[in-house]
Amino acid sequence: MKRREFLTAATLTAGAAIVSGCQRAEEGKSVNVNKGKKVKLKLATSWPAHFPIMGTGVDSFAARCGELSGGSLEIKVYPKNILVPALQVFDATSAAQIDMFHSGVYYWKGKNSAFSIFGGMPLGFTSEEMITWIKYGGGYELWRELYAKFNLYPIIGGTTGPQMGGWFKKEIKSLEDLKGLKMRIPGLGGEVMQRLGVNPVLLPAGEIFTALDRGTIDATEWVGPYLDKMMGFDKAANYYYTGWHEPGSILEITLNKQRWEKLSKEHQAIITAASDEMTSNMLYEFRIRNAEALRDLPKNVEIKTFPPEFFDAAKKALAEVIATESANSADFKRVYESYEKFNRINAPWDAISTKNFLEIRG
Ligand code: CA
C-alpha cells in the first residue's frame, strides 16, 4: 500500500473508531456489540440441574455470556437427561443436535484414548499445570485437531483441583490389602488400580452410596470432601485416602465446530472469556468448599495416605498403562509426547518454585 493510501485508510479507521466510540457513549450502559443479531445456543450438561460447583458454574457461564454480549448471546443450559442423556452430549453436539456441551473430558476415552490425557493423568499435572500445558504447551492444538475429527471445538470449561483418593471400608496397610477389592474408580486411575489387583467397577452416581453402604463395593472415589460429603460417603466408610489419580481434572465447554465458526468474533471472544472465568472460579470454589467440608467431617472419618509401596507400584503400573496405550494408538502416543515435553520444561522450575516453597512453608 502506498504511503498516502495507508494514511487515508488509517485516518478513516481512526475516524470510524471515534464515531463508534461516540455512539457507544450515547447509548450509555446498553452497549450491544451484536445489535440486532441475537444468537441462541443450546448447551447440554452431564450434571443434574444446578449441581454444586459444576452445574452452578455452567449456569454462571451462560449468564455471563448474556451479560458480556449485552443480551445478544443467549445460552440455554439443559441439565442431564433433559435434551440428551448425560453421556451422549458429545455425540449430540458432534451431530449438531445441540450446539454445545459442558462435561468432563475423561468420559470420552472410548472415542479416542488420547482424550483421557486432556482430562488429566494419574500422578500427573495439577490443575494449574494442566491449563498451562493446554494453553501454552501445545495441548490446545492437539486437542482441537483431534476433536475436529468429531466436528467439535473444545475450550477448557473448569477444573476440579486435587481430588481425594477415595473412601475405603477397611484400612489399606499394604498392597496385599488391595487385592480383590471392588472399587468404583473410572479412567486411567482405574486401570492402574486393576494392575494392583483391584476390581474397578462402573456405577452411576445415584447407586454408589447404596453399593458402598451395603458392602457391594469396598471402596469408591468421587471428588473431594465437599461433594463426597453430599453423597453421604462418610456414613458408609471410615477411611478417607488422600489423592493421586486425579490431581487436576479438566472439564470442557465444547461446541459443534461449524456452529463455533459461524459465530461472530465478538461472540467467540465472549465464550472464551466466560469459559476462562468459569475455570478459575471453579478452582477457587472447590478449594474453599473442600477446606470447609474437611473441617466439618465427622469424627469417625480417618484421613489416611496409601503406604509408600503403593505409590512405587502405582507409578510402575501407570508406566505400563502408558506404554500399552501408546503402542495401541498413534494419537495417544503423540499427545502423551506433548504432555511429557511440557513436563520436562515445567518440572525443574516447579521443583525450585512452588514445590520448594510449599516444603519451606510447611
Ligand atoms: Ca473423581
Residue ending a domain, choose from 264, 289, 314: 289
Same-domain pairing of 96 and 149: yes
For residue 255, is it within any domain?
yes
Find all residues with CB under 8 Å of 215, minimum gap 6, and list them. Answer: 169
Same-domain pairing of 173 and 207: yes
333-359: pLDDT as tens digits? 999 999 999 999 999 999 999 999 999
Domain count, the chain: 2
For residue 22, is it within any domain?
no
Average pLDDT, the chain: 92
Tell me how far the alpha carbon of residue 219 lies from the centroid of ligand 1, in angstroms.
13
* Mean pLDDT, rounded, for 235-252: 98
What is the percent of the chain where pLDDT is above 70? 90
Tell me how far the alpha carbon of residue 202 is from its chain's centroid.
Answer: 20
Same-domain pairing of 150 and 181: no
Tell me how far the alpha carbon of residue 287 lies from the centroid of ligand 1, in angstroms.
15
Tell me how far the alpha carbon of residue 138 is from its chain's centroid.
Answer: 17
Provide the residues around ligand 1 (an ion) whose CB is within 5 A.
163, 246
Band of residue 35 on the pLDDT scale cut at 50, 70, 90: low
Tell me how far the alpha carbon of residue 209 lies from the centroid of ligand 1, in angstroms.
14
Same-domain pairing of 240 and 132: no
Is residue 240 predicted with pLDDT exceeding 80? yes
For residue 313, is it within any domain?
yes
Same-domain pairing of 172 and 270: no
Tell me how far the alpha carbon of residue 221 lies from the centroid of ligand 1, in angstroms.
6
| pLDDT at 36 (0 to 100) | 59
For residue 26, is it within any domain?
no
Same-domain pairing of 266 and 205: no
Same-domain pairing of 48 and 139: yes
Distances (CA, A) of 115 to 30, 199, 231, 331, 334: 41, 23, 28, 9, 11
Tell me how far the alpha carbon of residue 222 lies from the centroid of ligand 1, in angstroms.
4
Same-domain pairing of 76 and 174: no
For residue 335, is it within any domain?
no
For residue 5, is it within any domain?
no
Residue ending a domain, choose from 289, 320, 355: 289
Is residue 331 predicted with pLDDT exceeding 60? yes
Q: In the 3-class helix/strand/coil scheme, how is the chain assigned residue by residue?
A: CCHHHHHHHHHHHHHHHHHHHHHHHHHCCCCCCCCCCCEEEEEEECCCCCCCCHHHHHHHHHHHHHHHCCCCEEEEEECCCCCCCHHHHHHHHHCCCCCEEEEEHHHHCCCCCCHHHHHCCCCCCCHHHHHHHHHHCCHHHHHHHHHHCCCEEEEEEEECCCCCCEEECCCCCCHHHHCCCEEECCHHHHHHHHHCCCEEECCCHHHHHHHHHHCCCCEECCCCHHHHHHHCHHHCCCEEECCCCCCCCEEEEEEEHHHHHHCCHHHHHHHHHHHHHHHHHHHHHHHHHHHHHHHCCCCCCEEECCCHHHHHHHHHHHHHHHHHHHHHCHHHHHHHHHHHHHHHHHHHHHHHCHHHHHHHHC
Same-domain pairing of 123 and 259: yes
Distances (CA, A) of 103 to 14, 240, 249, 334: 43, 26, 11, 24
Tell me how far the alpha carbon of residue 164 lies from the centroid of ligand 1, in angstroms.
8
Domain that residue 185 falls in: 166-245+300-328
| pLDDT at 204 (0 to 100) | 81
Same-domain pairing of 239 and 252: no
Tell me how far the alpha carbon of residue 276 lies from the centroid of ligand 1, in angstroms.
22
For residue 14, is it within any domain?
no
Same-domain pairing of 92 and 189: no
Tell me how far the alpha carbon of residue 346 lies from the centroid of ligand 1, in angstroms.
25
Pairing label, strands 100-104, 39-45? parallel
For residue 340, is it within any domain?
no
Is residue 294 predicted with pLDDT exceeding 50? yes
Band of residue 23 on the pLDDT scale cut at 50, 70, 90: very low
Instruction: Please give the torsion angle defined by the CA atoms of residues 77, 141, 95 and 267, in that order, rounded to the nearest 10 degrees.
Output: 40
Tell me how far the alpha carbon of residue 207 lies from the centroid of ligand 1, in angstroms.
15
CATH classification of the domain holding 92? 3.40.190.170
Band of residue 178 on the pLDDT scale cut at 50, 70, 90: very high
Tell me how far the alpha carbon of residue 183 lies from the centroid of ligand 1, in angstroms.
12
| pLDDT at 205 (0 to 100) | 84
CATH classification of the domain holding 205? 3.40.190.10
Band of residue 4 on the pLDDT scale cut at 50, 70, 90: very low
Tell me how far the alpha carbon of residue 296 lies from the centroid of ligand 1, in angstroms.
21
Same-domain pairing of 135 and 55: yes
| pLDDT at 203 (0 to 100) | 87
The set of cell numbers assigned to 310 is: 503403593
Residue ending a domain, choose from 289, 317, 347: 289
Tell me how far the alpha carbon of residue 105 lies from the centroid of ligand 1, in angstroms.
12
pTM of the entire predicted model? 0.89
